[in-house]
């Protein structure tokens, strides 16, 4: 049966026959995907100072990654890299948007192309991606452990899961 589903992390909706294993927009695992009829906007409690600091850091981390992937996508001649970076840049931008909502920061929907952020080389691109994703995983593990607010915990759990998948896909293709 075709249904509308919604992701409790990024709030995006999609039409599908079954819940997919991940949110197609932010990569959150299936436990965060609900029937759109049951969806409720997540409530956010007052943020602790540590969460504010971690979320600010994560926002910049996501924007930086999105910009680099966008550059790789535009420069590469390799269709696999073009496809992979097209989705990664969108996913990381979605992550920045999720985080931005909590700290009152807006993401401009267009990422300016900075040519000097990457090269067209496939191996270099994948190595840089691995470095970025591994760094994100390390940070999000720490931030998840430090979070006390349910919403912040959920976000870091979902993002950690998404970035771990990005590490896997990168390593499998290096």
Closer CB to Fe ion, 33 or 65, in the complex: 65
Burial classification of residue 110, based on how many CB atoms lie within 10 Å of its CB (0-12 exposed, 13-18 middle, 19 or more buried): exposed
Measured distance CA(57)–CA(116) in Å, rounded? 23
> What is the DSSP code string of 19-88?
--SB-TTT--BGGGEEEGGG--PPP-PPPPHHHHHHHHHHHHHHHHHHHHHHHHHHH---HHHHHHHHHH
For residue 133, the minimal CB distance to Fe ion (Å) is: 5
Which tokens hold the place of 136? Answer: 């994100």
Closer CB to Fe ion, 133 or 157, in the complex: 133
Closer CB to Fe ion, 36 or 56, in the complex: 56
For residue 91, the minimal CB distance to Fe ion (Å) is: 6
Measured distance CA(105)–CA(125) in Å, rounded? 29
For residue 159, the minimal CB distance to Fe ion (Å) is: 5
Of the chain, the end-to-end C-alpha distance in Å amounts to: 38
Which helix H or strand E contains 16, and what residues bound it? strand 13-16
For residue 47, the minimal CB distance to Fe ion (Å) is: 19
Closer CB to Fe ion, 51 or 129, in the complex: 129
DSSP letter (8 states) at residue 117: G
Contacts with Fe ion by CB under 5 A lie at: 62, 92, 95, 133, 163, 166
Closer CB to Fe ion, 119 or 164, in the complex: 164
For residue 75, the minimal CB distance to Fe ion (Å) is: 19
């Amino acid at each position: 049966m075709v249904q509308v589903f919604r992701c409790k992390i990024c709030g995006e909706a999609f039409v599908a026959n079954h819940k997919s294993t991940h949110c197609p927009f932010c990569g959150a695992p299936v436990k965060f995907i609900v029937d759109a009829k049951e969806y409720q906007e997540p409530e956010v409690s007052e943020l602790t100072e540590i969460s504010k600091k971690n979320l600010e850091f994560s926002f910049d981390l996501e924007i930086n990654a999105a910009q680099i992937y966008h550059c790789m996508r535009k420069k590469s001649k390799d269709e696999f890299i073009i496809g992979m970076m097209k989705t990664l840049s969108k996913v990381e931008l979605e992550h920045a948007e999720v985080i931005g909502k909590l700290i009152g920061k807006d993401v401009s929907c267009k990422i300016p192309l900075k040519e000097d952020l990457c090269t067209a080389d496939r191996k270099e691109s994948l190595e840089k991606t691995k470095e970025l994703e591994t760094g994100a995983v390390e940070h999000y593990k720490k931030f998840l452990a430090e979070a006390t607010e349910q919403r912040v915990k959920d976000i870091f759990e979902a993002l950690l899961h998404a970035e771990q998948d990005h590490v896997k896909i990168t390593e499998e293709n290096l």
